[in-house]
Amino acid sequence: MFEAFQDIESFTPIKTSLNPSFEDYDKQRKKELDEWFAEELLSKPLSEMNATEGYHDIVLQVIEVNTYQNRSILQVWDTTKPSFETSRPYMSNTVKPVDNSTEELLRIINENQMSVFVTVFDEHSIDAMNLKPLDFIVIFNLSIKTDRRNSSFHTLTLNSGYKFGKCIRNVKPNSYLGIFSNI
> DSSP for 18-49?
SS----HHHHHHHHHHHHHHHHHHHT--GGG-
Q: 83 in a domain, yes or no?
A: yes
Give the structural domain span for 94: 50-171
Q: What are the tens digits of pLDDT across the range 31-90?
A: 888 888 888 888 888 888 766 678 989 999 998 888 888 889 999 998 888 888 887 776
Q: 101 in a domain, yes or no?
A: yes
Tally of domains within the chain: 1
Please give the Cα distance from 114 to 142 (Å, whole number). Answer: 18
Q: 161 in a domain, yes or no?
A: yes
Is there a contact between 170 and 136 (Cβ–Cβ < 8 Å)?
yes
Q: 30 in a domain, yes or no?
A: no
Q: 23 in a domain, yes or no?
A: no
Q: What is the CATH number of the domain that holds 133?
A: 2.40.50.140
Q: 21 in a domain, yes or no?
A: no
Q: State the pTM of this model.
A: 0.81
